[in-house]
């Protein structure tokens, strides 16, 4: 007499295969995520030996001695944004970075919504004398649908820089994507540029932020906005005051 198959045997088998497929997809996703977190796109250290990171409060309080031991040479700390924002970790990170023998820069995120004078006052009030030894950074980005014209950006950025330099007598560093930096190419043209791009910028003697989130070699288990200096070490040392 032939054995009779349970009517739901195929259903159970299909369900088992489906769960195996789902489990396999999850495993592959986890492996890809692990690779993504561990990846190291750092440009060739022999060509670009001077490595740095750009930090804000989303990165938390840092171990700057660990960064230094990972061959990081400089850090840029976010201080202010617009006329009212102050980074929660700025003071703590600045104090700790000051004893690490890292070169330190601070930066302000420029706003299209408030006046240059109000933004300069916020920077001066919150930062005080803690400006480090590198040029003061001014970060530009299109954070909304509004994209000011080149003329508007040039006028307002010049006003902000004038107010900052009257207080600090320090050079500035313009930071942003190639697109937005092209709009302000006439603003302090002798000042260095920090270019955010996944491709090497054509200009020389600038900072190149090559990633918005990746590990640094032998560094902490965290993703950083990392950058390299494109010029010679002697040029970098001349920037530090």
Residue pLDDT, tens place only, 146-189 = 789 999 999 999 999 999 999 999 999 999 999 999 999 999 99
What pTM was estimated for this model as a whole? 0.83
pLDDT value of position 10: 60
Partner residues linked to 105 by β-bridges: 76
Q: What percent of the chain has pLDDT over 90?
A: 74
Q: Where are the chain's structural domains?
A: 1-38, 45-239
Structure confidence by residue, pLDDT tens digits, 59-102:
999 999 999 999 999 999 999 999 999 999 999 999 999 999 99
Average pLDDT, stretch 226-240? 93
DSSP strand pairing (225-229 vs 51-55):
antiparallel
Architecture of domain 45-239: Alpha-Beta Barrel (3.20)
* Mean pLDDT score, 31-38: 44
- Pick the residue with more confidence: 104 or 32? 104
The larger pLDDT score, comparing residue 30 to residue 182, is at 182
**How high is the pLDDT of residue 37?**
43
Q: Name the phi and psi angles at 18, rounded to 5.
A: -65, -45
Cβ neighbours of 179 (radius 10 Å): 12
The predicted pLDDT at position 30 comes to 44
- Reported as a single tens digit per residue, the pLDDT across 124-138 is 999 999 999 999 999
Band (pLDDT 50/70/90 cuts) for residue 9 is low
- % of residues, the chain, pLDDT over 70: 83
98 vs 102: CA distance, rounded Å: 7
pLDDT at 69: 95
């Amino acid at each position: 007499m032939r054995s009779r198959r349970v009517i739901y045997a195929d259903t159970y088998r299909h369900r088992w295969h489906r769960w195996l497929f789902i489990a396999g997809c999850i495993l592959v996703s986890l492996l890809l995520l692990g690779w993504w977190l561990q990846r190291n796109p750092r440009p060739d250290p022999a060509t670009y030996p001077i490595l740095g990171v750009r930090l804000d409060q989303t990165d938390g309080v840092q171990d700057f001695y660990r960064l230094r031991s990972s061959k990081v040479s400089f850090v840029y700390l976010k201080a202010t944004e617009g006329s009212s924002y102050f980074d929660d970790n700025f003071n703590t990170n600045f104090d700790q970075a000051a004893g690490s023998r890292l070169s330190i820069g601070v930066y302000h995120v420029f706003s299209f919504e408030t006046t240059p004078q109000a933004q300069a006052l916020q920077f001066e009030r919150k930062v005080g004398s803690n400006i480090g030894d590198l040029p003061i950074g001014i970060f530009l980005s299109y954070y909304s649908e509004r994209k000011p014209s080149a003329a508007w950006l040039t006028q307002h950025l010049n006003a902000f820089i004038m107010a900052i330099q009257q207080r600090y007598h320090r050079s500035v560093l313009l930071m942003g994507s190639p697109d937005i930096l092209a709009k302000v190419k006439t603003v302090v043209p002798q000042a260095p540029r920090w270019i955010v791009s996944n491709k090497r910028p054509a200009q020389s003697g600038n900072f190149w932020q090559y990633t918005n989130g990746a590990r640094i070699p032998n560094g902490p288990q965290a993703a950083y906005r990392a950058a390299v200096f494109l010029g010679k070490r002697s040029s970098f040392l001349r920037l530090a005051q």
